[in-house]
Structure 1
């Protein structure tokens, strides 16, 4: 029997449009992130066993060779950026059913979710699997798939990022006596 006492409890949030959404980190090595809810499709992101694990990322890696994503059991494609200095490098792209989703930092706490280039909403997550979504009214009501993808990517990779100038100031300040 597997000891699951050290596994974290599901994190849940109440979405304005889709009710309770649950985020679970599963597996012996916490390699599977599952986002589900009564009114959204289930999205599962899995890290391959051979992947080098980065403890700063909930799912453990940004290497697309070691990640898979499914939507209600149907394969999709996930491609995270490398996550270097510029915010744009922290983007995560998903292609599913002819739709292109992108989550990319747009401020210190938030990342914006786009569907085929249209800004749908802003997401915030501190890496504790709890996600807050602020949907753009002018974008209309988000689809259930929009919510599922947005919550999954935000929980798996975190959100937000400092602007490059702020990181440079921090680096210079740290180097000064």
Structure 2
């Protein structure tokens, strides 16, 4: 695949994200007006009821897990265009994007709206736009459960 320019416009405090680019569908994610942003999620919330996702103006289904102890708890699922997408952490910094259960990309974003992406052959413009949207909105990566538990225990020991 050739290099694709992706424009990411994230305003976390306002709760707006727009991803676009040449030959890419425009993907927008908007937090409900008047809702207070949380400090841990770039878009300001993981509550799907407070978020509206559109792909080229058409609504898409979004479900974000709560983001707790296990890496899997940071997953984000999207249904659009007859496909199921999932972004889930695969190490401390990166997350993997799957379409219908097949890995199509690896993404890295520290929450600042800049995404580094690597795509498998056959990735589509929709895959790229949606992957960049999810990574920019929710960040990527997570610590393994045993490291998180160790941090909690170490905080409890004087």
1:108-129 per-residue CA deviation (whole Å, 9 max, x = no partner) reads 1111000000001110100010
Paired residue for 1:172, among 143, 153, 156?
153
Structure number with greater Rg is 1
Aligned length: 158
* Cα distance in 2 between the residues matched to 1:127 and 1:21: 16
1:30–1:19 distance in 2 versus 1, CA, 3 Å: same
- Tell whether the 8 Å contact from 1:18 to 1:39 is kept in structure 2 after alignment: no
1:18-57 per-residue CA deviation (whole Å, 9 max, x = no partner) reads 5211111249x42210011112111000000243420221
Residue 104 (str. 1) matches residue 85 (str. 2): no
1:62-98 per-residue CA deviation (whole Å, 9 max, x = no partner) reads 0011111001111111111111111111100110011
Unaligned runs of 5+ in 1: 1-15
* Cα distance in 1 between the residues matched to 2:91 and 2:130: 20
How high is the TM-score relative to the length of structure 1? 0.84
Q: Which residue is 2:110 aligned to? A: 126
How high is the TM-score relative to the length of structure 2? 0.94
Paired residue for 2:2, among 10, 17, 38?
17
SS at match of 2:6: strand
Q: CA RMSD in A?
A: 1.5
- Off by >3 Å, runs of 4+ in structure 1: none
Unaligned runs of 5+ in 2: none
- Tell whether the 8 Å contact from 1:18 to 1:40 is kept in structure 2 after alignment: no
